[in-house]
Structure 1
Amino acid sequence: MPAHIGITTAHTDGTQRLDRRYTAAIENAGGVPVVLPITASDRTVEETLGRIDGLVVPGGPAVSEGLTGPLPEELDALGPRRAASDRRWIEACWQAGRPILGICYGMQRLNALAGGTIYGDVEAEHEGAQTHSQKRGATTHPVTLHSSSHLHRWLDVDTLPVNTRHLQAIATVGEGFSVAATAPDGVIEAIEHESGRLFGVQFHPERTGDITRPLFRAFLGHARTASVPSSA
C-alpha cells in the first residue's frame, strides 16, 4: 500500500498554489501526494489526518517566529492564514506521530515551533556566510552530512551537492532536534528530531531528481509505519 503524503500549500491573494515538483517527487518515490487546503478548521485537519501517513511542508516566505534579527527588505513575510494553517497541520501530525519533512521554510518552521531561533538575514548575521540565495535549481555548494544522521544513512554519501535559495537560516536548533548537515560556511542545512519522525532540509530535494530521490523513498518508508503516537 503506497504512503499518502499530505503537502501544505502557499496562499497568495486568496489563491492556493503548489509547485508541481513536490507532487512529482512523492509520486516518483512511490507515494501518493495529497494536496492540503489552507484551513482554519480543526475538523478538516482531524478528518484528513486519518487519510494521510506523513506531511511535507514545502518552501515559502519568511518565518516570523524566533527571529534573531530583522528580515531583509526583499523577503516577503509569511501571511497569517498560511501561518495558522501550517501550524495546525504540523501540530496535528506531530502529535499523531506522522513523519514530517520540512523543506526550506518548512524546516525553519519546524525548528521555530520547537523553540529554536532563526536568522532574519543569514548573510548579515552569520559570520563568514556565503551567498545562500542563488538561481533556482542549480547545485551551487556541497553540504556535509553528519555520519550519525538519518540523512547520511538514507543517501549513503558524506557530502551532497545542493541548490540553495534562502535568506533565512537556523541559528539554534529547537528542543529535541540536532544538526544533520552543514554548508562549508557552517550554516545549518539539515536537522532531525530525536523521535526519528521529524526531518528538515534547507535545500530543495524536489529539484534535484535522482540525487535526492532516496531521501523521499526513505521518508515514505517511515510514513508507511507511522501508526505509533508520538510523545514529542
Structure 2
Amino acid sequence: MEQRFVMKCGGSTLAALPDSFFADLRRLQAEGVRPVIVHGGGPAISSTLEKLGIETEFVGGLRKTTGDVLDVVEMVLAGAINKEIVRKIQQSGAKALGLSGVDGMLIQAQPVANAVDIGYVGDVTDVNAEVIEGVMAMGYIPVLAPIGIDGAGQRYNINADTAAGAVASRLGVERMIVVTDVPGIMKTVDGQKKVLPSITVAEIDEMIASGEIYGGMIPKVRAAVKCLHGNVREVVIVSGEEPNVLSRVVREGGVGTVIAGG
C-alpha cells in the first residue's frame, strides 16, 4: 500500500517555513509518498477582523463565530492562507490543490453542543475521503481549509486540529504529524532541557498540572492531543525548521515527540 501521512500546521507557521521544508515535501511526493495538509489560521483571522472593524467575542477561550465572523473565517482560511500554501508548494516544484471542507461536501459538520454560546462552530460528522483520494490519485497534494458544511448548506468554523484528526482517521492514517515552531515537548533533565521522544496523554496532563508544560506550549500540546481522533493512534510534534523533518518522520522516526493515546 502507498505510504501517506496527514500533516497539520498553523497558517502563520507554515507561511514562515524555509524553502527547504517545501523541497523535502516535493522529494517525498516524487518518491510516491502521499501527503495531505490541513491548516489553520487563527492569527490571520484575528488581524483581518480587526482591519474590517468586526468585533469578536471570546467565550471560554473560543472565538464566537457570528455570521459576519464566519464570512471572514472562510475568506481568510479558504482564500488567502490556503492559496499562499498552495503557491509555496508549487514554487518548490511539487503539485498542490487547495480545497475547503465545503468543496465536494469534504468536511461534513453539525453545530457543537454549546453553539448557542459560540455561534457557527462545528463538530465533524463525516469526511468525504473519495475527494481527497481522487486529488491524491491525480498526483496533487490536497491542502485543506477547515470549514465544514451540513446538508442544509450551513457553513461551520471547524477547529483545525479536530479537522486534521478526522481527515487522518477517515483516510486510515494512524500517525499524524503536527508541524509547529518547537522541536517537541521539552523536559528538564539534570538541569538541561531535552526533547521527550514519547509521552502519553495522561503524562501530558501531569506535566501541565505540575507546571513543566507551561505558557504558550500548553495550547500547542492540547491542540496536538485533539488530533488523536478515531483511528489516529499517535501524533508527532516536530519543528518545521529542522532539516528534512518530514522525510525523517516518515522514513525513520526518532524526531520530535510522539504523543500516544491513553
What TM-score range do you get, normalising by the shorter chain? 0.3 to 0.5
Q: TM-score, normalised by structure 1?
A: 0.35
In terms of Rg, which structure is larger?
A: 2
Q: Which of the pair is proportionally richer in helix?
A: 2
